[in-house]
Structure 1
Amino acid sequence: MAITSIDIDRTLLHDAKELLGATSNKEAVQRALQFTITMQRQRLAFERISRREFTADQIDAPKHDYSD
């Protein structure tokens, strides 16, 4: 893992640690980065899905029960 030196606003770091339940600055930054990446990926996936056009057959397809 790379070691990187950056200036971070102490108030933001404190708030991130508290909100994310992190016990160290490193953990807070890693959790915040992972959260940001996850949220962006979900947003992009939603945008792709919402732009998709479905055929009538797909819309009226029979329901499948996957609970096994």
Structure 2
Amino acid sequence: MQPLDLFLNLMLGLVGSAYLLYGRKQAAGLPMLCGLMMMVEPYVVPGFIGQLLVGILLAALPFLRR
């Protein structure tokens, strides 16, 4: 595993856990779901580019929904 992959996985997990905690605190389902998916996504999506694109989409989804 490359250092860039480890950094991306760390950032996706960090941002995902922040979304999950925010969603739980505000009782908002979409940020909570996106946070959970961002934390699980590095285990499911192969490749750096795929993880990056899916992570950006999941991070932007709650803002696009508003």
Query: TM-score category by the smaller chain?
Result: 0.3 to 0.5
Largest Rg, 1 or 2: 1
Q: TM-score, normalised by structure 2?
A: 0.38
Q: TM-score, normalised by structure 1?
A: 0.37
